[in-house]
Chains A and B, each alone.
Chain A
Amino acid sequence: MPQKTVIEAIREGMDEEMARDPSVFLIGEDVGQRGGVFLASDGLYKKYGEYRVIDSPLAESCIVGVAIGAAINGMRPIAEIQFADFIAPAMNQIIEEAARFCYRTAGDFNLPMVIRAPWGGGVHGALYHSQSIEATFAHIPGLKVVAPGTPADAKGLLKAAVRDPDPVLFLEHKRTYRLVKGEVPDGDGVVPIGKADVKREGKDLSLIAYGLMLTYCLEVAEKLAADGISAEVLDLRTIKPIDQAAIVATAKKTGKVLVVHEDTRFAGIAAEVMAIIMEHAFDALDAPLMRLTGPDVPAMPFNHVLEEAFMPNVDRILAKAKELAAY
């Protein structure tokens, strides 16, 4: 299988879906002639033309609103928010309209649409180019939230998101775009939404993560193995609907769980994962559930020392994992 980067996998995924289904189109800021700021849609404008790869105004509420209208009328739009940090102006469209449309119409209308948003820090992007938004949107009933961490999952989940009958917020960690490489199966390779994936088997403790933190956790597991500690790494992949069975299974298997995310701590995804474990795997626990997250401060700082302090990294995850292993 060929090795690809995350950004290549996403580009391929969009390309293949647009080729497969003429109702699929892309709309967003600079996605057309420029091919997107990260070049996610590089070449697609040339291939599919201005009616299927649409350069939008700098107005996120417009991008999402147009996508909603198109979806109601039988299209399958992919709306790109240039940076997840910019999604706030579109929140009314996403929460009040997209998420509730099926519910509001008693199931008469579905909104088959994808909102792609590059998220996360570690790229010296500072306040407006580094945020994590998954917890905010995962809280909204009616939305699906996906956050792949590998090229294969990015492509497979993007395909699943395009084909899904409901609105899917598709989060692409921008640090993984060119950092993370991996084999991507040729052909369709759809990865189902709602299924977590054990990326590494282990028995002493479980690391649960998604996005960039998955890459870090796999590196940590490798270092732990050198110390004789066998760590299992569970990649959530989909944040909502969350794969409760996989979370409970790994917790029951190891009895020790560390959840890692770079999003801020309070009411974060880790809190939800820990609550699921407490409800369904308490009897299997051998240590208090632990989490390592970004701090509860307004946004990622620009100063690289402070950015380092904000982001969980391999050293800090390793230290926390060792603390858990030693408990």
Chain B
Amino acid sequence: MASVKMPQLGESITEGTISKWLKQPGDQVKKYEGLVEVITDKVNAEVPAPLAGVLKEIKVKEGTTVTVGTEIAVIEESMAASQAATPSAPASQPSKPVVAAKGAEVPARAAAAAERTEGRARLSPAVRALIEEHRISDAELSGISGSGIGGRISKKDIEDYVAKRAQPAAANGEQRQRGAEAPPRPAGVAAVPGTPVPLSPMRRAIASNMVRSKQTIPHAWTVAEVDMSNVVRFRQQARDGFKQKEGIDLTFVPIIVKAVVEGLKAVPILNASWSDDGVVMHKDINIGVAVSVEDGLIVPVIHQADRLSIAGLAKVADDLAKRARAGALTIPDVQGATFTVNNPGTFGTILSYSIIASPQAGILAMDAIVKRPVVVDGDAIAVRSMMNLCLSFDHRVLDGVSAARFLQGVRRWLEGFSEQIPVY
């Protein structure tokens, strides 16, 4: 018997909802065959069977949400699969005649080993009851070394483990208590109690990501002002045709992403990640595009954005945004970004300080394009479509000079935009 657990479908995901069982109890399942569909706050995914066998029991009903690591089903290993492992045993027996003198020991050792593995898998009723009672995960269990015959985990082992596990928890409890007592309410100020809104899994994930990122990455921030007049003009001309031809709206996002890709090619240090062993320079340019959804934010990824034309970027970005809002993203859709583009400008902001998505080195915010009088060549004053590009970058990875060079590159590419630049 092997238990199937709710997998962790992506970083910082803490729970998932069973949307559909693809197999029913009694069904044969092949290894890696689709077993169940799971919805998380980021993606919908099909979870494959971890081994071949017969689905014995479904532990979590469709529509139920459980935390990562919860047992959701039990698969009975097929005989063929378990037998397949045994023939390798004789191969490990020593064939040299010198060792053969000790022949009698070999089967004894093999038997002992067999007993050990068997004993490991077989838990006594008392041990099982304790595991249940104290909600000990399989991961924890595998960390407990059995003191019984053949490495068997005994009741005492579990009790010892539980006692040990309880200690730090108690310490935390104390801290919490102290914390709760700590802030004295200012005298005379009437506290109006608020009602806490329960945290959604996505809220929780965003919170933990943001805290981790802001606490570990020394953010630096810089802004470049870009004259978007050429791009705006081009978009106005091309918009209807593009819509007719492609069926989607030509937004500023694919054009900005294209500019960012060009900028990253010129300043590859921004397409990198900090690690204690050194800065990891990424080979692919995968651009995460932040999409706001109800109650949160998802950042699907345009993979290998440097290989796509503006039209190609538009198509991929549109598809990702639509699927993000429909909750239909898959795990690969949200993984592997090397740089992120954020588009708060659609909501009218003009200066945005974005938090970097760890372990990336930077995030670029495109703010609102607004018409402003600006001084142009020949000291004339003209009305131009202006936009601020705000870059947050990891100051461990790069310095202001590189950041400025990147922004200048992006700015020049956008300002120099013309019909000559191919859309396809």
Chain B residues in contact with chain A, CB under 8 A?
A: 124-127, 129, 148-149, 152, 154-156
Q: Of the candidates B125, B148, B152, B156, which one forms a contact with A285 in the assembled complex, judged by CB atoms under 8 Å apart?
A: B125
| Chain B residues within an 8 Å CB radius of A255 | 124, 126, 155
In the complex, the answer to whether B156 meets A204 with C-beta atoms within 8 Å is: yes
Smallest CB separation, B65 vs chain A (Å): 30
Determine whether the beta carbon of B154 is less than 8 Å from that of A284: no
5 A–B pairs (Cβ distance < 8 Å), ordered by A: A255-B155, A285-B126, A286-B125, A286-B126, A286-B155
Closest Cβ neighbor of B155 among chain A residues: A286
A38 within 8 A of B: no
Residues A283 and B148 in contact in the complex (CB < 8 Å), given A204-B156, A255-B155, A327-B154 = no
Residue numbers in A under 8 Å from B149 (CB-CB) = 326-327
What 0/1 readout, one digit per residue, does chain A (279-313) give for beta carbons within 8 Å of chain B?
00011111100000000000000000000000000
Chain A residues touching B, majority SS: loop
- Tell me, rounded to whole Å, the shortest Cβ–Cβ distance linking A286 to chain B: 4
Taking CB as reference atom, which chain A residue is nearest B157?
A286
Binary flags per residue of A256-295, CB closer than 8 Å to B gives 1, else 0: 0000000000000000000000000011111100000000
The one of B125, B127, B152, B155 that contacts A282, using a Cβ cutoff of 8 Å: B125
**Shortest distance in angstroms between B163's beta carbon and chain A's nearest beta carbon?**
14
In the complex, number of A-B residue pairs with CB atoms less than 8 Å apart? 29
- Determine the distance from Cα of A284 to Cα of B128 in the docked complex, in whole angstroms: 9
In angstroms, Cα B127 to Cα A59, docked, is 56
B145 smallest CB distance to A (angstroms) = 15
Known A255-B155, A327-B154; contact A284-B148, beta-carbon cutoff 8 A: no
B132 nearest in chain A by CB position: A283
**Given the complex, which residues of A lie within 8 Å of B148, measured CB to CB?**
326-327
Report whether A284 and B156 are in contact in the complex, using a CB–CB cutoff of 8 Å. no
Evaluate contact between B129 and A327: CB separation under 8 angstroms. no
> In the assembled complex, how far is the CB of residue A254 from the closest CB belonging to chain B, in whole angstroms?
9
- Chain A residues with CB below 8 A from B154, complex form: 286-287, 327
Question: Measured between C-beta atoms, what is the minimum distance from A73 to chain B in Å?
Answer: 53
Bound form: Cα–Cα A54–B124 in Å: 57
- CB-based contact A284/B152 at 8 Å: no
A282 CA to B149 CA, complexed, in Å: 20
Chain A residues near B125 (CB, 8 Å)? 282-286
Smallest CB separation, A205 vs chain B (Å): 10
- Counting chain A residues whose Cβ lies within 8 A of the other chain, the interface size class is 10 to 19
Interface residues of A in 160-208 (CB under 8 A from B): 204
Q: Which residue of A lies closest to B124 (CB)?
A: A286
Residue from B124, B125, B149, B156 having most chain A Cβ neighbours under 10 A: B124
B156 proximity list for chain A (CB < 8 A): 204, 286
Distance (Å) between the CB of B306 and the closest chain A CB? 61
Q: Return the 4 tightest CB-CB contacts between A and B, nearest first.
A: A286-B155, A286-B126, A255-B126, A286-B124
Are B126 and A283 in contact, CB atoms less than 8 angstroms apart?
Answer: yes
Given contact pairs A326-B148, A327-B148, enumerate 8 new A-B contacts (beta carbons under 8 Å). Answer: A255-B126, A283-B129, A285-B124, A285-B125, A287-B124, A287-B154, A327-B149, A327-B154
Q: Which of B126, B149, B152 has the most CB of A within 10 A?
A: B126
Q: How far is the CB of B324 from chain A (nearest CB, A)?
A: 48
Least Cβ distance of B162 to chain A in Å? 14
Residues in A whose Cβ lies below 8 Å from that of B155: 255, 286
Which residues of B have CB within 8 Å of A282? Answer: 125
> Which residue of chain B lies nearest to A251 when distances are taken between CB atoms in the complex?
B126
The distance from the CB of A316 to the nearest CB of chain B, in whole angstroms, is 19
Select which of A204, A284, A326 is within 8 A of B126 by beta carbon: A284
Tell me how far the C-beta of A8 lies from the nearest C-beta in chain B, rounded to whole angstroms. 42
Q: With both chains docked as a complex, state the minimum distance between the C-beta of A285 and any C-beta of chain B, in angstroms.
A: 5
Q: What mask results when residues 43 to 78 of chain A are scored 1 for a CB within 8 Å of chain B, else 0?
A: 000000000000000000000000000000000000
A-side contacts of B126, CB under 8 Å = 255, 283-286
Residue of A nearest to B147 (CB): A326
A283→B155 CA distance, assembly (Å): 12
Chain A residues with CB under 8 A of B127:
286
Least CB distance, B141 to chain A, in whole angstroms: 15
- Chain B residues, CB < 8 A from A283: 125-126, 129
- Nearest chain A CB to B341's CB is how many angstroms away? 58
A327→B151 CA distance, assembly (Å) = 9
Residue in A closest to B123 when the chains form the complex, CB atoms = A286
Q: How far is the CA of A286 from the CA of B152 in the complex (A)?
A: 10
Complex CA–CA separation, A283 to B129 (angstroms): 7
Contacts of A286 in B (CB 8 A): 124-127, 154-156
Residues in A neighbouring B124, C-beta threshold 8 A: 255, 285-287
Query: Shortest Cβ distance from A51 into chain B, in angstroms?
Result: 59
Closest residue of chain B to A283 (Cβ to Cβ) is B125
Q: How far is the CB of A138 from chain B (nearest CB, A)?
A: 28
Give the residue name and chain of the B residue nearest to A288 (CB): B124
Question: What CA separation (Å) do A283 and B123 show in the bound complex?
Answer: 11
A282→B127 CA distance, assembly (Å)? 11
For A204, the chain B residues whose CB sits under 8 A away are: 156
Interface centre among A204, A286, A287, by most B CB within 10 Å? A286
Closest beta carbon of chain B to A253's beta carbon, Å? 11
- Tell me the bound Cα distance from A285 to B148 in angstroms: 14
B127's closest neighbor in chain A, by CB? Answer: A286
Separation in Å of the A275 CB from the closest CB of chain B? 16
**Minimum CB–CB distance for B415 against chain A, Å:** 76
- CB-CB < 8 A to B152: which residues of A? 327
Least CB distance, B125 to chain A, in whole angstroms: 5
Query: Chain B residues with Cβ under 8 A from A285's Cβ?
Result: 124-126
Q: Digit string of A307-327 for contact with B (CB within 8 Å is 1, else 0)?
A: 000000000000000000011
B128 CB, nearest partner CB in chain A, Å: 8
In the bound complex, how far is the Cα of B126 from the Cα of A145, in angstroms? Answer: 33
CB distance from A78 to the nearest CB of B (A): 45
**In the bound complex, what is the Cα–Cα distance between A282 and B125 (angstroms)?**
7
In angstroms, Cα B129 to Cα A255, docked, is 11
